[in-house]
A and B are shown apart, each in its own frame.
Chain A
Amino acid sequence: MADALVEDVAIEAPRRLGPFKRFMRHRLAFFGVVIIAILLVGAALAPWLAPFDPDDIDIVNRYAPPASPGHWLGSDDLGRDVLSRLMFAGRISLSVGIAAMLVTVVVGFAVGASAAYHGGWVDAALMRFTDIMLCFPSVFLLLFVAAFVPPNLGSMALMIGLTCWMEIARIIYAQILTLKQTDFIAAARMVGAPAWRIIVRQILPNSMAPIFVAATLNTANAILLESYVSFLGYGIQPPEASWGNMLTNAQSAFQVDPWLAIFPGIAITLAVACFNFIGDGLRDALDPKVRD
């Protein structure tokens, strides 16, 4: 037995950069994190940081251009401060985006995992349902639903979430199908582990990477969708501001004051682009097959 008891020394993990460092090397992703952080802080602390109340109407100073005294980004058709409105709108748009993302992750994971794990008719039914849902263009689906549901932050997040979970479902489905073939899952099944336990303890930790990536990309998509729907008037209703409905007003006033469209536009673009950069960076950082 002496020979079997070997005082082995564990080797060092192969010298590759940890995922965090790899992420940080991705310049755009880093830029994305910084910008999103700024947006999030600005949105979260809006009640304290915003120079004005977003509903403060000041007809005298309407259509003030950017860099006016007091109004750094100008004022809109009712004299309300653009910067303040942008910050408060950010709360709505970002919240909807993140909440919707959570819905997509939960629903997508549930559908994809159930289909992959159970196989058989459950698999066929769920994945065909997913395929059917994918056939609908999400914007139209959303508008259709929004016509019936009174839109507020919660219902918007739910609606967007329920129309965007399919991609995550597919990703999880593929992941779990691969994992199902592995011996360590076989060992767990053999010893009687119930399905939920295997999914939570064995499969979930192995699927985090694609979920994170899909989640960030979905957040970008959700913000964009909220903006579309609110812009068209079916989403967040004024006077509550969202970046999308700020554009609705700006559209009619475009000849007079183009800045009213530019700033919300930049906000949306920045948020969406930065979440996309973060998603790309995460994908590169977490994919073990990408060489350093």
Chain B
Amino acid sequence: MEIAAPPLLEVQDLSVSFANTRAVDSISFRVEEGETLGLVGESGCGKSTTALALMRLLRDASLTGRAWLDGVDLIGLGEAEMRAMRGSQVGMIFQDPATALHPMVRVGEQVAEVLDAHLSLSRAETKARTVELFRKVGIAAPEQRIRAFPHELSGGMCQRVVIAMAISCGPRLLLADEPTTALDVTVQAQILDLLRGIAGQSRAGMVLITHDLGVVAGMADRVAVMYAGRIVESGPTDQIFAHPLHPYTAGLLASIPQLDSGWDEPVPTIPGSVQDKGAGSGCPFAPRCSLASMECRTAPPFLAAGGGRMVACWKAV
């Protein structure tokens, strides 16, 4: 009997609260080595908050629960150790490349800073490594480009620099928060190809946060769908798309206008809006759910549904 290797990242009952609102409500998920997990949801569902919470980048937030990266509990870690982790063990890629980079520092310098913070290399080695990284992320003429300022580069180029920074120290985990949302669709395709390549080459795990189900379909091995701070469904990508178990997942998939079919039919919708939260402690999706009934007044637990899938719904088939 094989004993399964411990996952790269394991999150258990993570909750994040600000003042008196719960942004993330007791979520659990795991990411294996070499695997990409897609964390999907609409605005306000808590997916970005989750990433920031794991990296302990949230001020004024109280966290409960556990999160182990390679066995180290991220929640309980001291600030100094956390800083050592960021950039070296975990690489982060944010949404807007324009604001992720310092406007007054040359991009090569910014990457070098990350290298200097975690590795002790000579100046020459750092520079060589930087050029190498730029080449790896697909920036042409890297020796010249390291001297550029962010405003001299296009959005896609800036995002490549951000990716270079994220992978510079060979992290075990990549956290990508809407990495292509601010980019044109043709550039998005290029950047996603790049990320796929990088994730494939190293044995790093990746958490890809996005609202775009198309992106997730092409990039993620497994998917977790979030709604109102909770994970409502998770499982292998193929299965989630082919047979969604949670009504929200099903509704979300149905409401995406198809590129090549159904052009003249009304697009199926989920009534109401994300702000219509359930009162009190019931299922948060109940007000918008066509299957809701009395039992939905108690929040459904997040349970296994066979085949590596989990779902939080009383009505899941």
A binds B: yes
**A6 to B275, Cβ gap below 8 A?**
no
Interface stretch (choices B48-56, B130-138, B155-163, B264-272): B264-272
Closest beta carbon of chain B to A106's beta carbon, Å: 40
**A3 to B271, Cβ gap below 8 A?**
yes
**How big is chain B's contact interface, by range?**
under 10
Residues of A within 8 Å of B266, CB to CB, are 3
Closest beta carbon of chain A to B255's beta carbon, Å: 11
In the complex, whether B295 has a CB less than 8 A from a CB of chain A is no
Who on chain A is nearest to B276 by CB? A9
| Main SS at interface, chain A | loop
In the complex, whether B273 has a CB less than 8 A from a CB of chain A is yes
Residues of A within 8 Å of B269, CB to CB, are 3
**B271 to A6, Cβ gap below 8 A?**
yes
Taking CB atoms and an 8 Å cut-off, the chain A residues in 74-101 that contact chain B are none
In the complex, whether A8 has a CB less than 8 A from a CB of chain B is yes
In the complex, whether A11 has a CB less than 8 A from a CB of chain B is yes
Closest beta carbon of chain A to B275's beta carbon, Å: 4
Q: Convert A1-25 into 0s and 1s, putting 1 for each residue whose CB lies closer than 8 angstroms to a CB of B.
A: 0010010110100000000000000
Who on chain A is nearest to B269 by CB? A3
Residues of B within 8 Å of A3, CB to CB, are 266, 269, 271
Taking CB atoms and an 8 Å cut-off, the chain B residues in 268-302 that contact chain A are 269, 271-273, 275-276
In Å, the complex CA distance between A9 and B273 comes to: 9
Residues of B within 8 Å of A9, CB to CB, are 276
Who on chain A is nearest to B266 by CB? A3
Residues of A within 8 Å of B272, CB to CB, are 6, 8
Who on chain B is nearest to A292 by CB? B19
Taking CB atoms and an 8 Å cut-off, the chain A residues in 26-55 that contact chain B are none
Closest beta carbon of chain A to B280's beta carbon, Å: 15
**B271 to A11, Cβ gap below 8 A?**
no
Residues of A within 8 Å of B276, CB to CB, are 8-9, 11
Closest beta carbon of chain B to A21's beta carbon, Å: 15
In Å, the complex CA distance between A11 and B273 comes to: 10
Who on chain A is nearest to B287 by CB? A9
Taking CB atoms and an 8 Å cut-off, the chain A residues in 233-275 that contact chain B are none
Who on chain B is nearest to A12 by CB? B275
In Å, the complex CA distance between A11 and B272 comes to: 11
In Å, the complex CA distance between A71 and B269 comes to: 80
Residues of A within 8 Å of B271, CB to CB, are 3, 6
Closest beta carbon of chain B to A243's beta carbon, Å: 45
Who on chain B is nearest to A9 by CB? B276
Closest beta carbon of chain B to A245's beta carbon, Å: 52
In Å, the complex CA distance between A6 and B275 comes to: 14
Residues of B within 8 Å of A8, CB to CB, are 272-273, 276
Residues of B within 8 Å of A6, CB to CB, are 271-272
Residues of A within 8 Å of B273, CB to CB, are 8
Closest beta carbon of chain A to B188's beta carbon, Å: 26
Taking CB atoms and an 8 Å cut-off, the chain B residues in 127-171 that contact chain A are none
In Å, the complex CA distance between A8 and B274 comes to: 11
In Å, the complex CA distance between A3 and B265 comes to: 13
Taking CB atoms and an 8 Å cut-off, the chain A residues in 195-227 that contact chain B are none
In Å, the complex CA distance between A6 and B273 comes to: 10
In Å, the complex CA distance between A11 and B275 comes to: 7
Who on chain A is nearest to B60 by CB? A291
In Å, the complex CA distance between A206 and B272 comes to: 30
In Å, the complex CA distance between A208 and B269 comes to: 41
Residues of A within 8 Å of B275, CB to CB, are 11
Closest beta carbon of chain B to A219's beta carbon, Å: 36
In Å, the complex CA distance between A147 and B260 comes to: 82
Who on chain A is nearest to B267 by CB? A3
In Å, the complex CA distance between A3 and B272 comes to: 10
In Å, the complex CA distance between A9 and B272 comes to: 8
In Å, the complex CA distance between A201 and B275 comes to: 31
Taking CB atoms and an 8 Å cut-off, the chain A residues in 122-155 that contact chain B are none
Closest beta carbon of chain B to A160's beta carbon, Å: 42
In Å, the complex CA distance between A20 and B276 comes to: 28
In Å, the complex CA distance between A8 and B273 comes to: 8
In Å, the complex CA distance between A273 and B273 comes to: 49
Can you report 11 residue pairs joining A to B where beta carbons are below 8 Å apart?
A3-B266, A3-B269, A3-B271, A6-B271, A6-B272, A8-B272, A8-B273, A8-B276, A9-B276, A11-B275, A11-B276
Chain B residues with CB under 8 Å of chain A are 266, 269, 271-273, 275-276
Chain A residues with CB under 8 Å of chain B are 3, 6, 8-9, 11
Q: A3-B266, A6-B271, A9-B276 are known contacts; what are 8 more A-B pairs with Cβ within 8 Å?
A: A3-B269, A3-B271, A6-B272, A8-B272, A8-B273, A8-B276, A11-B275, A11-B276
Nearest first, the 4 closest Cβ-Cβ pairs linking A and B are A11-B275, A6-B271, A3-B269, A9-B276
